[in-house]
Amino acid sequence: MMRGRVRRKAALAALDSLPQRPAPATCALCGRRLGARIEWHHVVPKSEGGRETVPLHPICHRAIHASADNAELARLYATLDPLREREDIRRFLAWIADKPPDFHAPTRRRR
């Protein structure tokens, strides 16, 4: 029976043997180069049965979830293309286009 530090080391060794995702180069929503922080977004939310994930900037991820709830994302926005056509997301994408990859700002909640 493994205990304490030995158990943690075994767990870390097992994680090292798992295949790693290649580091993505661009955000799936805005198309800008990704920075130090990357978040993985379920295109169709996990709660709605989705499995596919795409890399996003944290601010882009927050903008998506501030504009639509999980049921709406699953029902109307099963891909990112129709989501980009939403007026609020379109305005966000125009605003974020010239910002640096690690730009951070508060995200407004949906009214």
For residue 11, what pLDDT is reported? Answer: 59
Question: What contacts 73, CB < 8 A, 6 or more positions away?
Answer: 43, 44, 45, 48, 64, 83
CA dist., res. 1 & res. 4, Å (int) = 10
For residue 10, what pLDDT is reported? Answer: 60
Domain boundary assignment for the chain: 23-111
pLDDT at position 8 over 90:
no
pTM value is 0.75
In this prediction, residue 82 has a pLDDT band, given cuts at 50, 70 and 90, of very high
CA dist., res. 26 & res. 2, Å (int) = 42
State the alpha helices, DSSP H only, in the chain: 4-17, 58-67, 70-76, 80-84, 87-96
Residue-wise pLDDT tens digits, 10-48:
655 665 555 566 667 899 999 999 999 999 999 999 999
